[in-house]
Structure 1
Amino acid sequence: MTKTDIRPVRLHPGQTDSANRALSRVRNYLESHRDRTEITVSVEDGEPEPLTLPREVVELLAGMLAHLGAGRGVSIVPADAELTTQQAADMLNVSRPFLVGLLDAGEIEYRTVGTHRRIKASSLMKYKQEDDRGRRAAADELTQLGQEMGLM
């Protein structure tokens, strides 16, 4: 199994404008060509050469450009990648001991390799989506209560 490197790529501040311009062009193309399942782009490095990409790849590229253009770092992690507890904690932006507590509580699926825990990226993302959904529901409930009490 290959080692998963989750260190994010960040653009220099001067490059974010370029990412935003590219994002605008990619989004416009995707919007005006909704029926296309494959998209051909031109790569100009000497002789122009067409490059055909699945639509999903171009949509992923648009997502990466949006984050990079906003100054955020981006990492690509395969869904079946196995992460160390430190890598998983970094992805959730929590401490390693907090993550281990989640693993021990059965909140996130993992397996042991010798004495080490390994977490599939897909299991980690499933937990994150469920946690985010719970947070949104709690925030919505608080907003509704505030409105009912006339605080908003």
Structure 2
Amino acid sequence: MTKTESRPVKLPPEKAATAHRALQRVRHYLDTHRERAQITVTVEDSDETEPLILPREVVELLAGTLAHLGAGRGVSIVPSDAELTTQQAADMLNVSRPYLIGLLKAGEIDYHQVGTHRRIAASSVLEYRRRDDKRRRAAADELTQLGQEMGLI
């Protein structure tokens, strides 16, 4: 596993607007060129004249990043095999470190020990978040159904 430094990038409002405009152009290109597995990008640089060729998946990741940045949210890119500290994992889940440690001890998230320190695979954190989101949606759906049955909604 690789170690990671997860420093979120957040743009000031004037640059967020630029990211939003770039997102619109990238999405339009992706929508109108669905069959392309590779995307050719022209970079304005006086030293390089060759176009930059990127896999479609990279451009789609760029579009997702631009969407978050354009909306004023901070973004971090973490490799799925990255080893996270408990604080980094807690930050990814937006929970406290003690709460995360409780999840680890309860077996909700896989981890391993490195000496006295816990290390968590980013993929394990993301898998837990997917499961937790699914549980929350199911609970919300059940509450909505009960509200409808009782005539409250």
TM-score, scaled to structure 1: 0.96
Paired residue total: 152
Distance 2:117 2:72 in 1: 34
Say if 2:2 and 2:83, in contact at 8 Å, map to a contact too. no
Moved more, 80-89 or 3-12: 3-12
Q: Aligned to 1:24, what secondary structure does the other structure show?
A: helix
Q: Which residue type is aligned with residue 52 of structure 2?
A: L
Residue 27 of structure 2 corresponds to 27
Structure 2: gaps (5+ residues): none
Paired position in structure 2 for 1:100: 101
In the TM superposition, 1:1-152 aligns within 5 A as: 3-46=3-46, 47-152=48-153
SS in 2 for 1:91: helix
The CA distance in 2 between the partners of 1:72 and 1:128, in whole Å, is 19
Secondary structure (helix, strand or coil) at the match of 1:119 reads: strand
Question: C-alpha offsets along residues 68-124 of structure 1, whole Å, 9 cap, x if unaligned?
Answer: 000000000000000000110011011111000000000000000001000000011
Per-residue CA deviations over 1:12-31 (Å, capped at 9, x if unaligned) read 11111111110001111111
Q: Secondary structure at the match of 1:82?
A: strand
Aligned pair in 2 of structure 1 residues 2, 108: CA closer, same or farther (>3 Å)?
A: closer
Greater shift in the superposed pair: 4-13 or 47-56 = 47-56
- Give the 4+ runs in structure 1 shifted more than 4 A: none
How far, CA to CA, are the matches of 2:64 and 2:101 in structure 1?
30
Q: Which amino acid aligns with 2:24?
A: S
Which protein, 1 or 2, shows the higher relative CO under an 8 Å CA cutoff with sep ≥ 6? 2
CA distance in 1, matches of 2:112, 2:2: 17
Secondary structure of 1:134 counterpart:
helix
Percent of aligned positions that are identical: 74
The Cα RMSD (Å) is 1.2
With normalisation by structure 2, the TM-score equals 0.95
Secondary structure of 2:120 counterpart: strand
